[in-house]
Amino acid sequence: MTLGEKQRVFTLATAHLIIKAYELGYEGTHGDTYRDPRVFGAHGVKLGYGRGRSLHKLRLAYDLNLFRDGVYLTSTEDHKPLGEWWEAEYAQYDASWGGHFNDGNHYSFRHNGDR
């Protein structure tokens, strides 16, 4: 699968992620999605915050901020049901949830070893 093909699948998958969050009783707002290389450096270059090899730079990572009853949920553990669903639902695309590295609101598709 090319990077472009994976990006297009990822875009649809994030829509499903948002719907699933609402089905589980959460509400959400968008967090980081694309990190423009003009601001954050090319993939592999660390400029600004985040990792140099961030999948946000490849349009394969999405941060979803969760809320319940109007309260922002900041704990990685709060994302666990959604993160586990994400990895199971999109296993064929090597989906990764940031709960494995203390970044609970991060949802991505691995690419060339990056998550």
pLDDT digits (tens, 9 = 90+) for 4-53: 999 999 999 999 999 999 999 999 999 999 877 776 666 655 666 666 56
> Quick one: pLDDT at residue 52?
56
Domain definitions of the chain by residue range: 3-109
Longest alpha-carbon distance in the chain: 40
> Quick one: pLDDT at residue 113?
83
pLDDT digits (tens, 9 = 90+) for 54-111: 899 899 999 999 999 999 999 999 999 999 999 999 999 999 999 999 999 999 999 9
Q: List residues bridging with 73 in a β-sheet.
A: 66
CATH code: domain 3-109 is 3.30.1380.10
The burial class, CB within 10 Å (0-12 / 13-18 / 19+), for 94 is middle
**What does the radius of gyration of the chain's CA atoms come to, in whole angstroms?**
14
Three-state SS at 37: helix
> Quick one: pLDDT at residue 68?
97
Q: Tell me, yes or no, if the pTM score tops 0.95.
A: no
